[in-house]
C-alpha cells in the first residue's frame, strides 16, 4: 500500500511539473533582439530598413489621393501597417475646405451635407485619410449646426437630416471596415466610438428642431442603419416602439411614455431610436483597443442609440426596454451602455442596465439611461477554444473513475446478493450516491442553455455531493459503534440513511430556498467558488470531514486499546483494518478532487484540469481497491473460489465454526447472542440459496460478520474450534 501511495504521489508530481516545463523553456529562450525593421515591399511601396521606434515616409499616395504615406517601425522592430491617414482624395479635400465657409445659413449646411452624401458613397473613399476627412466634415456639419437655432423650413431641416443620416449610413458601411480598422490602428483607437457619440448629439438637435418646425415623425430604413424619430404631444399615452412590427426574436426598442417627465416649451416630447446594424463589425479589435471589449465579452448584437428630447431626468423611473437579437449563440449576456469618457478599462458600462430575460437567440434588457447600448456576450467561440478540449480531459477522468465506482458497486452486489450487513449496505449507499452524483455531473454540468434545468442540476449536484460526504460520516459512525462500542443494533440502516440522505437534503433545501438564483452559473451548472452559496457546500462538508476524522481516529484508537488488552481478540479484529482503511484513504482523496474540481472549473486552467482528471481516476481506483478488492467478503469469496494455497484454506477453516456451537458458547449477553443468531441464520439461508459457494466460504463469511462483535469473537477463539470437516475438504478440493 505504501508503495502504491508513493507511486501515486510520483505520478501526481510528474503531472504537475510536465505541462509547466515547456512553457518556462519557451519563455526563457528569448529571441536575439534586433533593433531594425527589415526592408520590405508592401502594396507597391518599398520600405527601407529603419531603426525601431522611428518613422519613414513616402510622398505619393495611392491612386488619385494626395499626401504622404507613413510607416512606423515599432519598438519591438516590427512594422506597423502603412499609415494612409494623411492621404486624401481631391473631392474630400475640397469639401473639407468648404467647412470653413459654414456661416450658420441652413442652405450652406444642406449643400455640404448633400455633397458629403455624394462623396461618401460606397467605394468612393479609398484610403483611411478619406474616411477621416469625411468624418471631420461630418463633425463640422453636426456640431452646432443650424438645427440648434432651427431658423429654417421643415423641408430644409428634413433634407439636411436625411443627407447627414445617409452619409452616416455610408460611412458605417461594412465595405469601409478596413479603413476604420486602419484608423483605429494608426490614428485614433476610439474613432468609431467618437463618431457614434457625435451622432447622438446630432439626434438631440434634430429632435428639438423637428419639434419646432412640426415634423412629427420620420423614419429611414437602410441595410445597416435604421432610424425612427417621433415627436409626441404632451398627452400621448402610447409607448414608442421601434421596429414596431418585429418578430419576437428580432431587435426592438421600447420607450415608455413614463420616461417623459418633462416637455419642451412647445409642449412636445420626442424620441429617436437608431439601430446600427454594422457597428459591431467596425469596432476596433480588442488587440488594438482593449477598452472596446468589456470584461464580460465581445459585442454580440447590433448597437442601438436612444435619444430623448428634451433631456429627461435620468436614471428613468420606468426603464426603456431593449431586445437584442444575438449575432452568435453565446452565454452570459450583459447589456451595456457605451461611454467613451469612462476612464475605466472598458468603454462599456453594465451598471445601468439589467438583463430581464435571455434565451439562446435573444436577450431583453431594461436600461435607465438614454445613450448607445449593445449586448456583450461571452461567445461560444471563446468556449470552443478553452472549454471543449478541457472538458474532454475532465470527462475522460470522470468516466474512468465512474467505471471504477460501478465495478466496485457490482462487485459488492455480487458478493452480497441477499445477505446484507450494515457495513456493506452503507458502502453501497455511498457508492450509489456517488455514482448518481457523477452521472448528474457528466450529463448536466454544461446544460447552461436552459436556466431552470441548469439551476436544478446545480441544486441536485450540491445535494448529491454533500450526501457523499455524509455517507462517509455514516461509515465512520458505523465503525465506531460496531467496533468500539460493540453496539451493533443501536443504529439501524434507516438511521444511516437519515444521516446520509436526509441531513444534506435539509442543508441544500435551506440554501436553495434562500438563494435559488445563485445556482446555475453562466458557464456551468454548479455553484461558483466566488459565490457565497458555496459555503453551504464547503461548511457542511468541512464539518463532516472533521467529524469523520475524529470518529475514525477514536475508532482506531479504540481498536489499538483492544489490541493491548486482548491479543487474541485483536488478531481477529485485524480483519477490520480494511474497513478503517477505506474511509481514511478515500476521504482525503475526495477533498482533494473536489477542491481541484472547483478551481479547475472556475479558472479553466488546463494543468488543473489534467491533475483533476488524474486524481479522479486515482480516487476511482482507490475506491475500487479498498472498498471492492480488499473487502473481506470479496477476499473470502475469492479465496473460496480460487484459493489453492494453504493460507486461504487455513484461514477459512480456522475461522469456520458452527453456528450452534458458537451461539451456545458465546452468550453472556442475550442481546448479542440473539443478534448473532439472526446473523448466522440469515447467513445460512443466504448461502443455502447459493449452492455454488463452498461451505468454507459460508463459514468464514459468517465468521467475518461476527467480527463486529468483538467480545463474542474472543470467546470461541480461546480454544481451537473444531472445523467442520466438509468445509475443509471442500476448501482443499477446490
Ligand X SMILES: *[C@@H]1O[C@H](CO)[C@@H](O)[C@H](O)[C@H]1NC(C)=O
Strand 320-325 versus strand 362-367 pairing type:
antiparallel
Strand partners, 354: 366
Which one, 55 or 674, has the nearer CB to ligand X?
55
Strand partners, 377: 298
Residue 573 and residue 579: Cα distance in Å, rounded?
A: 11
Residue 10 and residue 606: Cα distance in Å, rounded?
A: 20
Residue 6 and residue 3: Cα distance in Å, rounded?
A: 5
Which one, 107 or 244, has the nearer CB to ligand X?
107
Extract the C-alpha cell encoding 529.
467558488
Which one, 156 or 288, has the nearer CB to ligand X?
156
Binding site for ligand X (CB under 6 A): 55, 70, 72, 110, 114-115, 118, 149, 151, 155-156, 159, 233, 235, 237
Cβ neighbour number for residue 148 with a 10 Å cutoff: 13
Residue indicated by cell numbers 404632451: 234
Extract the C-alpha cell encoding 370.
438614454
Which one, 268 or 710, has the nearer CB to ligand X?
268
Which one, 186 or 608, has the nearer CB to ligand X?
186
- CA 469 centroid distance within chain: 24
Residue 197 CB, nearest distance to ligand X (Å)? 25
Residue 267 CB, nearest distance to ligand X (Å)? 8
Residue 121 CB, nearest distance to ligand X (Å)? 8
Nearest to residue 594, comparing CAs of 459, 480, 449, 466?
A: 466
Residue 40 CB, nearest distance to ligand X (Å)? 18
Which one, 55 or 357, has the nearer CB to ligand X?
55
Q: Is the peptide bond before 243 cis (omega within 30 degrees of 0)?
A: yes
Which one, 114 or 188, has the nearer CB to ligand X?
114
Residue 650 and residue 640: Cα distance in Å, rounded?
A: 11
Residue 86 CB, nearest distance to ligand X (Å)? 8
Residue 263 CB, nearest distance to ligand X (Å)? 12
Which one, 159 or 447, has the nearer CB to ligand X?
159
Residue 118 CB, nearest distance to ligand X (Å)? 3
Give the H or E element holding residue 253: strand 252-255
Q: Is 337 helix (H, G, I), strand (E, B) or coil?
A: strand
Lateral strand order in the sheet of 66-72 = 55-59, 66-72, 87-88
Which one, 124 or 650, has the nearer CB to ligand X?
124
Extract the C-alpha cell encoding 254.
421600447
Which one, 159 or 360, has the nearer CB to ligand X?
159
Strand partners, 45: 42
Residue indicated by cell numbers 441548469: 454
Nearest to residue 704, comparing CAs of 341, 273, 415, 307?
A: 415
Which one, 110 or 623, has the nearer CB to ligand X?
110
Which one, 151 or 684, has the nearer CB to ligand X?
151
Residue indicated by cell numbers 468589456: 294
Q: What is the dihedral of CA 314, 315, 320, 326, to 10 degrees?
A: 120
Residue 69 CB, nearest distance to ligand X (Å)? 11
Residue 370 CB, nearest distance to ligand X (Å)? 23
SS3 content of the chain, % helix, strand, coil (to 5): 55, 15, 30
Contacts of 376 (CB under 8 A, 6+ apart): 293, 294, 296, 297, 298, 299, 300, 333, 334, 335, 336, 348, 350
Nearest to residue 470, comparing CAs of 442, 505, 519, 514?
A: 505
Which one, 71 or 597, has the nearer CB to ligand X?
71
Terminal Cα-to-Cα distance of the chain (whole angstroms): 29
Which one, 69 or 544, has the nearer CB to ligand X?
69
Which one, 155 or 250, has the nearer CB to ligand X?
155
Residue 174 CB, nearest distance to ligand X (Å)? 22
The answer to whether 435 and 465 have CB atoms below 8 angstroms apart is no
- How would you class 35 by CB atoms within 10 Å of its CB: exposed for 0-12, middle for 13-18, buried for 19 or more? exposed
Q: Is 63 helix (H, G, I), strand (E, B) or coil?
A: coil
- CA 389 centroid distance within chain: 14
Residue 524 CB, nearest distance to ligand X (Å)? 45
602 phi/psi in degrees, rounded to 5: -70, -45
Strand partners, 229: 218, 272
Residue 192 and residue 200: Cα distance in Å, rounded?
A: 12
* H helix runs in 69-188, sequence order: 90-98, 106-119, 128-142, 154-171, 177-186
Residue 264 CB, nearest distance to ligand X (Å)? 14
Residue 55 CB, nearest distance to ligand X (Å)? 3
Which one, 125 or 304, has the nearer CB to ligand X?
125
Residue 195 CB, nearest distance to ligand X (Å)? 22
Residue indicated by cell numbers 472538458: 391
Residue 235 CB, nearest distance to ligand X (Å)? 4
346 phi/psi in degrees, rounded to 5: -135, 150
Residue 237 CB, nearest distance to ligand X (Å)? 6
Q: How many helices (H) and strands (E) does the chain have?
A: 25, 20
Residue 229 and residue 308: Cα distance in Å, rounded?
A: 10
How is residue 601 annotated by DSSP?
H
Residue 208 CB, nearest distance to ligand X (Å)? 15
Which one, 115 or 662, has the nearer CB to ligand X?
115
Residue 324 CB, nearest distance to ligand X (Å)? 31
DSSP string, 276-301: ESSHHHHSPPTTT-GGGSBTTBEE-S
Q: How many residues are present in the chain?
A: 734
Which one, 115 or 197, has the nearer CB to ligand X?
115
Contacts of 285 (CB under 8 A, 6+ apart): 181, 184, 292
Amino acid at each position: 500500500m505504501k508503495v502504491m501511495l508513493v507511486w501515486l504521489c510520483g505520478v501526481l508530481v510528474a503531472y504537475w511539473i510536465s505541462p509547466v516545463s515547456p512553457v518556462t523553456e519557451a519563455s526563457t529562450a528569448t529571441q536575439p533582439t534586433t533593433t531594425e525593421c527589415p526592408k520590405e515591399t508592401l502594396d507597391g511601396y518599398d520600405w527601407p530598413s529603419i531603426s525601431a521606434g522611428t518613422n519613414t515616409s513616402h510622398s505619393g499616395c495611392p491612386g488619385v489621393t494626395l499626401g504622404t504615406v507613413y510607416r512606423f517601425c515599432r519598438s519591438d522592430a516590427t512594422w506597423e501597417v502603412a499609415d494612409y491617414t494623411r492621404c486624401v482624395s481631391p473631392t474630400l479635400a475640397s469639401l473639407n475646405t468648404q467647412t470653413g465657409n459654414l456661416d450658420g445659413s441652413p442652405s450652406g449646411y444642406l449643400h455640404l451635407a448633400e455633397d458629403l452624401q455624394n462623396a461618401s458613397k460606397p467605394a468612393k473613399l479609398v484610403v483611411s485619410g478619406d474616411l477621416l476627412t469625411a468624418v471631420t466634415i461630418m463633425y463640422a456639419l453636426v456640431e452646432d449646426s443650424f438645427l440648434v437655432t432651427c431658423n429654417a423650413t421643415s423641408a430644409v431641416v428634413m433634407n439636411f437630416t436625411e443627407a447627414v443620416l445617409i452619409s452616416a449610413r455610408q460611412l458605417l458601411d461594412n465595405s469601409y471596415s478596413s479603413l476604420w480598422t486602419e484608423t483605429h490602428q494608426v490614428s485614433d483607437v476610439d474613432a468609431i466610438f467618437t463618431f457614434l457619440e457625435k451622432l447622438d448629439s446630432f439626434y438631440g438637435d434634430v429632435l428639438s428642431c423637428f419639434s419646432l418646425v412640426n415634423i412629427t415623425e420620420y423614419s429611414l430604413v437602410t441595410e445597416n442603419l435604421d432610424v425612427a424619430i417621433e415627436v409626441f404631444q404632451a398627452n400621448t399615452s402610447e409607448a414608442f416602439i421601434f421596429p414596431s412590427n418585429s418578430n419576437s426574436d428580432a431587435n426592438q426598442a421600447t420607450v415608455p411614455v413614463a420616461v417623459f417627465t418633462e416637455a419642451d416649451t412647445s409642449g412636445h416630447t420626442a424620441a429617436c431610436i437608431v439601430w446600427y446594424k454594422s457597428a459591431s463589425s467596425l469596432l476596433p479589435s480588442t488587440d488594438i483597443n482593449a477598452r472596446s471589449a468589456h470584461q464580460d465579452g465581445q459585442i454580440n448584437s447590433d448597437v442601438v442609440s436612444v435619444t430623448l428630447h428634451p433631456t429627461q431626468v435620468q436614471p428613468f423611473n420606468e426603464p426603456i426596454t431593449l431586445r437584442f437579437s444575438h449575432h452568435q449563440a453565446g452565454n452570459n449576456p450583459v447589456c451595456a451602455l457605451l461611454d467613451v469618457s469612462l476612464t475605466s478599462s472598458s468603454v462599456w458600462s453594465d451598471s445601468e442596465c439589467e438583463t430581464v430575460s435571455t434565451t439562446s437567440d435573444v436577450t431583453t434588457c431594461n436600461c435607465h439611461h438614454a445613450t448607445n447600448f449593445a449586448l456583450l456576450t461571452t461567445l461560444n467561440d471563446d468556449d470552443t477554444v478553452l472549454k471543449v478540449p478541457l472538458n474532454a480531459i475532465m470527462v475522460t477522468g470522470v468516466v474512468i473513475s465512474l467505471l471504477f465506482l460501478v465495478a466496485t458497486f457490482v462487485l459488492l452486489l455480487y458478493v452480497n446478493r441477499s445477505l446484507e450487513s450494515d457495513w456493506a449496505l452503507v458502502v453501497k449507499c455511498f457508492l450509489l450516491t456517488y455514482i448518481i452524483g457523477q452521472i448528474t455531473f457528466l450529463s448536466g454540468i454544461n446544460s447552461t442553455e436552459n436556466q431552470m434545468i441548469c439551476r436544478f442540476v446545480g441544486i441536485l449536484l450540491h445535494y448529491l455531493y454533500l450526501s457523499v460526504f455524509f455517507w462517509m460520516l455514516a461509515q465512520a459512525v458505523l465503525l465506531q459503534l460496531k467496533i468500539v462500542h460493540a453496539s451493533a443494533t443501536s443504529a439501524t440502516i434507516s438511521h444511516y440513511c437519515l444521516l446520509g440522505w436526509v441531513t444534506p437534503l435539509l442543508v441544500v433545501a435551506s440554501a436553495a430556498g434562500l438563494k435559488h438564483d445563485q445556482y446555475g452559473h453562466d458557464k456551468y451548472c454548479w455553484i461558483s467558488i466566488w459565490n457565497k452559496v458555496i459555503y453551504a457546500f464547503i461548511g457542511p462538508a468541512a464539518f463532516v470531514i472533521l467529524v469523520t476524522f475524529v470518529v475514525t481516529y477514536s475508532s482506531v484508537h479504540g481498536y489499538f486499546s483492544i489490541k493491548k488488552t486482548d491479543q487474541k481478540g485483536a488478531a481477529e479484529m485485524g480483519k477490520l483494518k480494511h474497513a478503517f482503511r477505506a474511509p481514511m484513504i478515500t476521504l482525503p482523496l475526495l477533498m482533494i478532487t473536489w477542491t481541484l474540481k472547483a478551481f479547475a472549473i472556475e479558472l479553466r486552467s488546463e494543468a488543473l484540469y489534467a491533475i483533476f482528471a488524474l486524481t479522479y481516476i486515482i480516487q476511482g481506483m482507490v475506491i475500487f481497491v479498498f472498498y471492492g478488492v480488499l473487502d473481506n467478503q470479496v477476499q473470502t469469496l475469492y479465496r473460496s473460489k480460487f484459493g489453492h494455497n494453504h493460507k486461504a484454506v487455513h484461514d477459512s477453516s480456522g475461522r469456520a465454526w458452527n453456528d450452534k456451537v458458537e451461539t451456545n458458547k458465546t452468550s453472556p449477553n442475550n442481546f448479542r447472542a440473539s443478534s448473532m443468531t439472526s446473523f448466522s441464520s440469515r447467513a445460512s439461508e443466504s448461502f443455502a440459496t447459493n449452492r455454488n459457494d463452498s461451505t468454507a466460504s459460508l463459514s468464514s463469511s459468517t465468521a467475518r460478520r461476527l467480527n463486529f462483535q468483538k467480545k463474542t469473537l474472543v470467546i470461541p477463539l480461546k480454544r481451537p474450534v473444531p472445523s467442520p470437516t466438509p468445509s475443509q475438504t471442500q476448501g482443499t478440493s477446490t
